[in-house]
A and B are shown apart, each in its own frame.
Chain A
Amino acid sequence: DVKVTQSSRYLVKRTGEKVFLECVQDMDHENMFWYRQDPGLGLRLIYFSYDVKMKEKGDIPEGYSVSREKKERFSLILESASTNQTSMYLCASATGGSTGELFFGEGSRLTVL
């Protein structure tokens, strides 16, 4: 079974703190994604990566950065957390190619006070 693991299920941070969200997949997938889930807005793509050290902006990249130093690990970074970044963050991975199934982690719920 594909497993996408998000190391932190719940985090509480203060405004201005630097936040790291970590994601690891065990299926040797080329593509990895970070989505943000908010009620009434669905899932919105923040960043994705199609190879190590490669990244591409999604629809809402402002205030976020990412790092992919190893194929299995994709990190989302909030350089200076703000209250409007309080949300559920979902990591996903998929085999390379144009379409196909995304495998999601269970999510990291971030609260910024």
Chain B
Amino acid sequence: QQQVKQSPQSLIVQKGGISIINCAYENTAFDYFPWYQQFPGKGPALLIAIRPDVSEKKEGRFTISFNKSAKQFSLHIMDSQPGDSATYFCAASIESGAQKLVFGQGTRLTINP
């Protein structure tokens, strides 16, 4: 069973627009929620991460919004650029779980110029 569900599977956004990717999780023991970005031919790389003691974390144009009661979190990319075109994975883990991340299904994001 998929413990972390990610949507949409693919997303096309115009340059300058806001890209939004959503994830929902089932295991209430999860307490670490990273997002990874993967460019074609490369391995995923950490983009931004949040812990459930805050509802939002912002790094530059990238923001994670976290809703603990709904067991949902999302990635917002403001002023999306063609260089943001990549596959994005949300993930979750238990802090005591030795970095055993459970990943979502991935979202292929395309930013049209």
Binding site for B on A (CB under 8 A): 4, 31, 33, 35, 39-45, 48, 50, 56, 58-59, 90, 92, 94, 97-107
Out of B43, B100, B104, which one reaches A48, CB within 8 Å? Answer: B100
Contact between B44 and A43 (Cβ–Cβ < 8 Å)?
A: yes
What is the bound-complex CA distance between A58 and B85, given in angstroms?
Answer: 30
Q: What is the minimal beta-carbon distance from B103 to any residue of chain A, in angstroms?
A: 4
Question: Which residue of chain B has the shortest Cβ distance to A101 in the bound complex?
Answer: B46
Closest Cβ neighbor of A91 among chain B residues: B43
CB-contact partner of B93 in A59, A99, A106, under 8 A = A99
- Please judge, given known A-B contacts A40-B9, A44-B103, A48-B100, whether A104 and B95 are in contact too, CB under 8 Å: no
**With the chains together, A92 CA to B101 CA distance in Å?**
11
Nearest CB of B to A2, in Å: 10
Asked whether A107 and B96 contact (CB < 8 A) given A40-B9, A44-B103, A99-B32, the answer is no
